[in-house]
């Protein structure tokens, strides 16, 4: 490979890492199904909601402007990304690309083909329709009214053990901003839950044989390497991660705890030949070591 090609390749890899995407060779799209399986997966039934769905498009009429959108489930602006995940225990989570996080319960009515979303003690009924896009991926359309709807494309199929899904609520407690300053133990626990979330990202990517490992909806201080775990520079800490703490001071305390463990903690060597599994094992050691 010529020096010019090497430079171009380095730039591409750097850009992918900047956006939280690391590609894996020889892997497939985790959401694409075979023809027969796909036909069954778009039938109007509750089990077909399970998994993660990413915003595809918002129609021209914005419910936020017209006041027709449900209070707890507002249609995002057209330039904003959104990930919704539905789980077998009737819970869901919603994460925007700016780090805004919400969660609640859901149920599906196959007779009316609508979804009931409950959050903050309020329940909204939304018409839901399944379909397939040109790439063979499942689509989910939420219709608020005749002129107001959003379309989501399946981002990842459900995990076999849904409580190990990176976007399951128990793995996202770190996103819940506290109402007051936290002590060292509480900051450490918040950091450990964030680490657990990243462990789940890697485990899910490995189990699904994903084509890439993405942290687009999980911006923070952890960096994945092939093989290894690192930490971003202080000046590159995402604001959305800082905002998950009560204050910047608390966030920097968590950063310091993680950075110190990387430098001075005891680390086992992991070399299975699968960097995703190795990074998951390394993070698990760090999580368990932060007692």
Whether 25 maps to a domain, the answer reads no
Count of domains forming the chain: 2
Whether 224 maps to a domain, the answer reads yes
What are 91-142's pLDDT values in tens digits? 999 999 888 999 999 999 989 999 999 998 899 999 999 998 888 889 999 9
Q: Spell 118-150 as b/e; 16+ CB within 10 A means b.
A: bbeeeebebebebebeeeebbbbbbbbeeebbb
Q: Which domain holds residue 261?
A: 161-289
Whether 43 maps to a domain, the answer reads yes
| Domain shared by 125 and 245, yes or no | no
| Domain shared by 168 and 114, yes or no | no
Rounded-to-integer distance, Cα 85 and Cα 8, Å? 36
Q: Answer with the one of 122, 156, 190 that is the final residue of a domain.
A: 156
| Domain shared by 134 and 46, yes or no | yes
| Domain shared by 148 and 167, yes or no | no
Rounded-to-integer distance, Cα 62 and Cα 80, Å? 13
Rounded-to-integer distance, Cα 83 and Cα 16, Å? 19
Residue matched to tokens 């890697």: 202
Instruction: Answer whether residue 7 shows pLDDT above 70.
Output: no
Whether 26 maps to a domain, the answer reads no
DSSP string for 201-254: HHHHHHHHTBSEEE-TT--SSEEEETTEEEE--GGG--HHHHTTSSSHHHHHHH
9 pLDDT band, cuts 50/70/90, is very low
Q: Tell which wins on pLDDT, 9 or 261.
A: 261
Q: Answer with the one of 156, 174, 199 that is the final residue of a domain.
A: 156
| Domain shared by 280 and 191, yes or no | yes
Q: Tell which wins on pLDDT, 72 or 98.
A: 98
Q: pTM to 2 decimals?
A: 0.81
């Amino acid at each position: 490979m010529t020096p010019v090609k090497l430079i171009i390749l380095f730039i591409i890899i750097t850009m992918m890492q900047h956006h939280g995407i690391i590609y894996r060779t020889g892997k497939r799209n985790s959401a694409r199904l075979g023809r027969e399986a796909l036909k069954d997966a778009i039938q109007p039934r509750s089990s077909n909601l399970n998994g993660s769905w990413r915003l595809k498009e918002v129609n021209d009429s914005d419910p936020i402007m017209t006041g027709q959108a449900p209070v707890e489930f507002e249609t995002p602006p057209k330039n904003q990304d959104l990930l919704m995940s539905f789980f077998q225990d009737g819970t869901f989570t919603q994460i925007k690309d700016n780090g805004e996080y919400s969660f609640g319960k859901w149920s599906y009515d196959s007779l009316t083909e609508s979804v009931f979303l409950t959050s903050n003690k309020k329940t909204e009924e939304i018409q839901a329709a399944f379909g397939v896009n040109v790439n063979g991926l499942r689509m989910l359309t939420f219709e608020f009214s005749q002129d107001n709807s959003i379309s989501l494309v399946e981002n990842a199929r459900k995990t076999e053990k849904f409580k190990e899904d990176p976007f399951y609520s128990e793995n996202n407690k770190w996103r819940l901003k506290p109402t007051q300053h936290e002590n060292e133990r509480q900051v450490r626990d918040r950091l450990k839950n964030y680490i657990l979330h990243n462990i789940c990202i890697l485990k899910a990517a490995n189990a699904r044989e994903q084509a890439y490992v993405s942290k687009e909806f999980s911006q923070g201080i952890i960096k994945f390497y092939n093989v290894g775990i690192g930490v971003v520079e202080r000046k590159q800490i995402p604001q959305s991660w800082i905002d998950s703490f009560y204050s910047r001071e608390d966030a920097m305390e968590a950063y310091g705890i993680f950075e110190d463990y990387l430098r001075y903690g005891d680390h086992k060597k992991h070399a299975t030949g699968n960097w995703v599994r190795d990074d998951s094992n390394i993070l698990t050691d760090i999580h368990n070591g932060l007692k």
